[in-house]
């Protein structure tokens, strides 16, 4: 009787040290242990050295009094506040300039990017010149340029530019009147929220009706009318519960009102213009990535170029645009730390600058600052990735 061929062909189980799966597992465990040991060693070494040199460690300094002033604070702050508070103030200033910068840069970037693809020769060339100029000059130089160019052009407080006695523009900043909300104003806010909700609802209804019956409905006009009209009606009905605090010149500078310091404007302008040049190129790449057949098909269906761009091209281009756009947003947020060069009190200037120097605790302060930037960047990435996932093509 022949031996069972299947039994002879079975390979014998390899010894443990030759088994590839076991080897892979062992290597991974060893590397993880080595990396954590290295990390722990670095941490321990730093702490020992700090102690040997008599430098204080720990986060206790966050509760001591700061004793220095900050020119722009979005929350309550005085010289008797703690260092922890300076951290919050710096953080909010960074978020403010980053948020506004992202919005402005995106708007400007999309406009320039689409302009560069225009069939009008002059507009296309102007957009190309814009991109080439602002992409290639270092950001710090642009910030200095806007700051000192703006400063040079403005008058001193005693000779401010005056807009109707309510808005003042001078070297020390742009002074806007501050709205003082009287008791009834809550209803106006509620009306605004209701109007926004109403617009969203109407947009959804209009889209369903168009898909069912093909009838168009100009949601944009209705929405604008609702968002502007409803709060306005409520406002007038309640007897205009709004007073204004006008800035006035007392002594050296204007007091009262909402001041927008020139550092903020210069930083915002420089960051937006610089990042917009990069975003323009990304948008152009995204639009060119959509196959030309789409444009031709849309034209064949009778869609005007503007509608083609808005309804057919851009939604498809967004898939290509979103990942590099995320990088540009992160760049903008990190570049806002150049604020120290012109004295805008952002996180790096206030916390990693003044607080670090007054307390001498460089390791803790820099670690906290790095942690903040890392968190902000991760949050932006998360949001963009979620949006990107929603836009992916679903294969049938």
Residues that bind other proteins (CB under 8 A): 27, 30-31, 34, 37-38, 41, 45, 49-50, 52-56, 67-71, 79, 148, 151-152, 156, 171-172, 250-253, 255, 262-263, 340-343, 345, 349, 353-354, 356-360, 362
Q: What span, in angstroms and rounded, lies between the C-alpha atoms of 34 and 10?
A: 38
The smaller minimum CB distance to other proteins, of residues 71 and 303, is found at 71
For residue 250, the surrounding DSSP H or E stretch is: strand 248-250
CB of 300 to other proteins, least distance (A): 57
Nearest Cα to 377, choosing from 102, 139, 90, 109?
102
CB 103 within 8 A of CB 96: no
The smaller minimum CB distance to other proteins, of residues 149 and 200, is found at 149
Q: What are phi and psi of 219, to 5 degrees?
A: -65, -30
Q: What span, in angstroms and rounded, lies between the C-alpha atoms of 387 and 383?
A: 6
The smaller minimum CB distance to other proteins, of residues 28 and 375, is found at 28
CB of 372 to other proteins, least distance (A): 18
CB 289 within 8 A of CB 313: no
The smaller minimum CB distance to other proteins, of residues 73 and 326, is found at 73
CB 328 within 8 A of CB 282: yes
CB of 92 to other proteins, least distance (A): 17
The smaller minimum CB distance to other proteins, of residues 262 and 286, is found at 262
CB of 200 to other proteins, least distance (A): 43
SS3 of 345, please? coil
According to DSSP, the β-strands at 167-170 and 248-250 are: unpaired
CB of 104 to other proteins, least distance (A): 24
CB of 164 to other proteins, least distance (A): 24
Residue 271: partners with Cβ closer than 8 Å, 6 or more residues away: 97, 101, 105, 139, 143, 332, 335, 336
The smaller minimum CB distance to other proteins, of residues 86 and 328, is found at 86
The smaller minimum CB distance to other proteins, of residues 20 and 239, is found at 20
CB of 343 to other proteins, least distance (A): 5
Torsion sign over Cα 34, 36, 39, 43: negative
Q: What span, in angstroms and rounded, lies between the C-alpha atoms of 211 and 230?
A: 29
Degrees to nearest 5, angle at CA 209 with 208 and 212? 85
Q: What span, in angstroms and rounded, lies between the C-alpha atoms of 196 and 223?
A: 8
């Amino acid at each position: 009787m022949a031996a069972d061929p299947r039994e002879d062909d079975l390979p014998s189980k390899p010894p443990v040290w030759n088994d590839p799966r076991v080897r892979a597992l062992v290597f991974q465990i060893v590397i993880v242990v080595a990396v954590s040991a290295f990390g722990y060693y670095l941490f321990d070494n730093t702490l020992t050295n700090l102690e040997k040199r008599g430098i204080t460690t720990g986060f206790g300094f966050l509760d001591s009094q700061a004793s220095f002033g900050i020119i722009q604070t979005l929350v309550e702050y005085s010289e008797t506040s703690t260092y922890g508070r300076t951290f919050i103030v710096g953080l909010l200033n960074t978020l403010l300039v980053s948020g506004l910068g992202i919005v402005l840069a995106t708007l400007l970037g999309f406009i320039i990017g689409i302009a560069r693809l225009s069939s009008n020769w002059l507009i296309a060339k102007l957009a190309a010149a814009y991109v080439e100029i602002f992409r290639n000059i270092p950001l710090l130089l642009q910030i200095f340029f806007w700051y000192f160019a703006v400063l040079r052009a403005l008058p001193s407080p005693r000779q401010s530019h005056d807009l109707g006695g309510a808005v003042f523009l001078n070297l020390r900043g742009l002074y806007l009147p501050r709205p003082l909300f009287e008791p009834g104003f809550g209803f106006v806010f509620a009306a605004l929220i209701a109007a926004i909700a109403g617009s969203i609802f109407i947009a959804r209804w209009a889209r369903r009706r168009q898909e069912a019956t093909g009838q168009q409905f100009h949601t944009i006009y209705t929405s604008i009318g609702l968002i502007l009209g409803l709060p306005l009606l409520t406002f007038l009905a309640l007897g205009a519960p709004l007073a204004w605090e006008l800035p006035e010149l007392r002594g050296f500078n204007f007091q009262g009102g909402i001041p927008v310091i020139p550092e903020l404007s210069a930083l915002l302008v420089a960051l937006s213009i610089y990042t917009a040049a990069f975003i323009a190129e990304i948008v152009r790449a995204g639009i060119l990535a959509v196959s030309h057949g789409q444009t031709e098909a849309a034209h064949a269906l009778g869609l005007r170029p503007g509608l083609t761009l808005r309804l057919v091209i851009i939604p498809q281009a967004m898939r290509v645009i979103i990942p590099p756009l995320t990088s540009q947003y992160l760049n903008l947020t990190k570049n806002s730390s150049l604020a120290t060069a012109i004295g805008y009190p952002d996180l790096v200037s206030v916390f990693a600058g003044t607080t670090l120097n007054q307390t001498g605790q460089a390791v803790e302060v820099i670690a906290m600052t790095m942690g903040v930037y890392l968190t902000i960047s991760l949050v932006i990435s998360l949001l963009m990735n979620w949006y990107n996932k929603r836009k992916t093509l679903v294969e049938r």
